[in-house]
Amino acid sequence: MTSQMAAGRSRAGALASGIPAETVLRVSGLRMNYGSTEVLKGVDLTARRGEVIALLGPNGAGKTTTIEILEGFRRRSAGEVDVLGSDPDHGDEEWRSRLGVVLQSWRDHGAWRVRDLLHHFGRFYAPYSKTDHVRPHDTGVLLDLVGLTEHANQKIRTLSGGQRRRLDVAIGIVGRPEVLFLDEPTAGFDPRARRDFHDLVFRLADEEDTTILLTTHDLDEAEKLADRILLLAGGRIVADGSPDQLSSLIASESEVAWTVGEQRHVHATDTPARHVAELYAQHGEDLTDLRVSRPSLEDVYMAMVQRYESGDAERAADEFTKEIR
Amino acid sequence: MNTSVGLGANAVRAGLSRGLIEFRGSMTNPQEVLLGYLMLPAMFLGMALFLGDNEAGGITSGMTIIFSGLVTMIAMLGMATTAQVIATEREDGTLLRCRAVPHGMIGYTVGKTVHILLMSVLAMSLLLVPALLFVDGVAVQGWTGALALVWVCLLGLATLASIGAIIGALISNPRLVVGLAMLPVMVLVGISGIFFPMAFLPGWLQTVAMVFPIYWIGEGLRAALFPAEALAAGEFGVAQLPLVAGVLALWTVLGFLVAQRVLRRMARRTSGSRVQAAREEAMKRAY
């Protein structure tokens, strides 16, 4: 691959050159019905190479359904879906070798040892190895990467919930996927494991140019990890943008809190900078404990979900997409 | 360089090692060893050793008991075990995990076949080897008998395993599968002349029994284990080995064709949220 091509395709190259990276995932008008229930009512989304996208939404919003359709595990009712140039419904084994799927595990392969299972699943990717993209990951290196080296010879049924989840992640990336799907990857992680997982996601996106689509209920996590956040509610994407974009949209008012003497004050304003300047002009050195907080992603989320639940989803969605685009 | 044959062969090799690893795993699991390998052989051997002395027309009751034991084990291992394993591994996500890797279903199928085959060979040797040594009258009838013993067991296992796989794929609750697969096994073993001569049964029931493979497995194994002159004199008559081979082969082909379709459909319908739902369902039952 020439450096020029690489610049046009990868995320790092895209950042450097300003040319957008190649689109690897494109969904338009995706609909899914279960019997007479409409779960997805026209979902549109795209993802570029190396992008990390978080899919948020209340339980039952259709996050898992969306991911399973993209993984090729579920047939859609209608709409166009393109993942790495193929329709997931007709994706062949070569196509599958370029995907990573992190599954929720339960008690499968309980009698297997950690190293054996990881090595076993890695073997299936060996024929798809290329000189510039060696598959699969070396088992030892990967175990180290997810922090399971000391448990490598343990039977899987003896692992803790968090350790099992790390193994799930390792199995998901053993084939060095170009697109990785993660459905609630950090459920059951302690803060340390969560931090390690976040580092791993950054590493995959930055160094391997992996496109990552994950669902989560942890809004801080989404804010930290994602280049772009999609909010799914009522079977539609009702918000799509970077964490900053979303925060700036929902409520224009920031909260300014300060102390003068013993007295604590709070004021909501849409021009926090001017307000702070006025405060300083007025109180000078007496002004202490100054704090300006923008609306958090949680506020955005709650507001959007509330709008949806009050039956205003369509208008809300239109509003948002108009403002962002 | 990447021909599809080569890719399949890689998955087959991965499947072979999968089967060996799973077999090793079974061997180190005391509960599985006890229930899966030791219980039935020990039961039939015990009966044969204690009750095996009566003889009538060149056939000892020990021989009959060992013969019944072999057929029962083929039926149990082939049908009930396979059905249960398939249903369980679909529910717990094993199948889904295999489906998520390229050519993973080939690996899974080969692995499962190797695992169940090794397990069955071991379990049947645990019955047959001590029986040949210690139970009066039990012997293999020459080279033809030895050969027949091997191919009847293998063909029988293959046939019943594909039927078991169909049952396992069609029933969604693995706790029901054991019962639902055992029932037809028991009924078929009961009417196929394995434990008592079929002459006691009404004619139409004998015809029904002869449609199913267990009757033919019985025929084949009788020819392998019982002296021809004793068979000719008794109520069973001399087995027609070519006919046995033909019927079992037909059943195997049919079973494989149907099983393949049913398993494909099952695999297509497996997804993370279905595994998740099954898990929540199982948690509610609290065990």
Q: What is residue B1's predicted lDDT score, i.e. its pLDDT?
A: 46
Nearest to A120 among B14, B29, B279 (CB): B14
Q: Which residues pair with B213 in a beta bridge?
A: none
Check A104 against B271: CB less than 8 A apart. Answer: no
Check A124 against B96: CB less than 8 A apart. Answer: no
Residues A273 and A198 reside in one and the same domain: no
Q: Which domain holds residue A290?
A: 252-294
Asked whether residue B229 is domain-assigned, the answer is: yes
Q: Point out the domain boundary residue: A245, A260, A283.
A: A245
Give the CA dihedral A169, A175, A176, A178, nearest 10 degrees.
Answer: -100
Asked whether residue A8 is domain-assigned, the answer is: no
Residues A215 and A287 reside in one and the same domain: no
In the structure encoding, which two tokens stand for residue B52, read together?
């095996």
Higher-confidence residue of B251 and A302: namely B251
Mean predicted lDDT score pLDDT of chain A: 85
Q: What is residue A302's predicted lDDT score, i.e. its pLDDT?
A: 80
CB B97 within 8 A of CB A108: yes
Q: What is residue A15's predicted lDDT score, i.e. its pLDDT?
A: 64
Q: What is residue A314's predicted lDDT score, i.e. its pLDDT?
A: 55
Which of A145, A125, A146 has its CA nearest to residue A135? A125
Residue range A194-209: mean pLDDT, rounded: 90
Residues A213 and A264 reside in one and the same domain: no
Asked whether residue B2 is domain-assigned, the answer is: no
Which residues of chain A have a CB within 8 Å of the CB of B103? 93, 124
Check B272 against A171: CB less than 8 A apart. Answer: no
**Cα B25 to Cα B18, B19, B33, B78, distances in angstroms:** 10, 10, 10, 19
Q: How many CA atoms lie within 13 A of A43 on its CB side?
A: 32
Which residues of chain A have a CB within 8 Å of the CB of B26? 111
Q: What is residue B176's predicted lDDT score, i.e. its pLDDT?
A: 84
Nearest to A109 among B28, B94, B101 (CB): B94
In the structure encoding, which two tokens stand for residue B51, read together?
């009750």
Q: For B19, which residue in chain A has the nearest alpha carbon?
A: A120
Q: What is residue A13's predicted lDDT score, i.e. its pLDDT?
A: 66
Asked whether residue B1 is domain-assigned, the answer is: no
Q: Does B107 touch chain A (CB under 8 A)?
A: yes
Q: What is residue B33's predicted lDDT score, i.e. its pLDDT?
A: 82
Residues A188 and A256 reside in one and the same domain: no
Question: pLDDT grade, residue A252 (50/70/90)?
Answer: low
Interface confidence, given as ipTM, is 0.84
Instruction: Indicate which of A63, A67, A109 best probes the interface with B, i.e. most B CBs within 10 Å of its own CB.
Output: A109
Q: How many CA atoms lie within 13 A of A166 on its CB side?
A: 30
Q: Is the pLDDT of residue A211 over 70?
A: yes
Which residues of chain B have a CB within 8 Å of the CB of A104? 93, 272, 275-276
Residues A197 and A288 reside in one and the same domain: no
Residue range A213-217: mean pLDDT, rounded: 90
Asked whether residue B262 is domain-assigned, the answer is: yes
Residues A145 and A268 reside in one and the same domain: no
Q: What is residue A311's predicted lDDT score, i.e. its pLDDT?
A: 63
Higher-confidence residue of B6 and A91: namely A91
Q: Is the pLDDT of residue A321 over 80?
A: no
B76 vs A99: CA distance, rounded Å: 39
Domain count along chain B: 1
Residues A202 and A257 reside in one and the same domain: no
Q: What is residue B217's predicted lDDT score, i.e. its pLDDT?
A: 94
A137 vs A148: CA distance, rounded Å: 15
Q: Which domain holds residue B262?
A: 7-285
Residue range A128-146: mean pLDDT, rounded: 92
Asked whether residue A173 is domain-assigned, the answer is: yes
Q: Is the pLDDT of residue A258 over 60?
A: yes
Q: What is residue B286's predicted lDDT score, i.e. its pLDDT?
A: 55
Question: pLDDT grade, residue A251 (50/70/90)?
Answer: low
Domain count along chain A: 2
Q: What is residue A272's predicted lDDT score, i.e. its pLDDT?
A: 82
Instruction: Extract the residue ranges of chain B whose pLDDT is less than 70.
Output: 1-5, 235-237, 285-287
Check A111 against B2: CB less than 8 A apart. Answer: no
Q: What is residue A7's predicted lDDT score, i.e. its pLDDT?
A: 40
CB A72 within 8 A of CB A96: yes
In sequence order, what E strands does chain A have?
A: 23-34, 37-48, 52-56, 78-83, 99-102, 179-183, 211-215, 228-233, 236-241, 254-260, 263-269, 287-293
Question: pLDDT grade, residue A116 (50/70/90)?
Answer: very high
C-alpha A12: how far from its chain's center? Answer: 18
DSSP code string of A217-251: S-HHHHHHH-SEEEEEETTEEEEEE-HHHHHHHH-
Asked whether residue B27 is domain-assigned, the answer is: yes
Residues A257 and A138 reside in one and the same domain: no
Q: What is residue A275's predicted lDDT score, i.e. its pLDDT?
A: 85
Q: Is the pLDDT of residue A20 over 50?
A: yes
Give the per-residue SS3 of A62-94.
CHHHHHHHHHCCCCCCEEEEEECCECHHHCCHH
C-alpha B203: how far from its chain's center? Answer: 27
Question: pLDDT grade, residue A6 (50/70/90)?
Answer: very low
Asked whether residue A80 is domain-assigned, the answer is: yes
Q: What is residue A2's predicted lDDT score, i.e. its pLDDT?
A: 41
Residues A229 and A203 reside in one and the same domain: yes
Residues A51 and A185 reside in one and the same domain: yes
Residues A279 and A175 reside in one and the same domain: no
B280 vs B276: CA distance, rounded Å: 6
DSSP code string of B234-278: SSS----HHHHHHHHHHHHHHHHHHHHHHHHHHHHT--HHHHHHH
Higher-confidence residue of A99 and B275: namely A99
Question: pLDDT grade, residue A312 (50/70/90)?
Answer: low
Phi, psi of A100 (to 5 degrees): -120, 135
CB A43 within 8 A of CB A37: no
Q: For A62, which residue in chain B has the nearest alpha carbon?
A: B273
Per residue in A22-62, pLDDT (tens digit) is: 899 999 999 999 888 888 999 999 999 999 999 998 888 88
Residues A167 and A132 reside in one and the same domain: yes
Q: What is residue B239's predicted lDDT score, i.e. its pLDDT?
A: 75
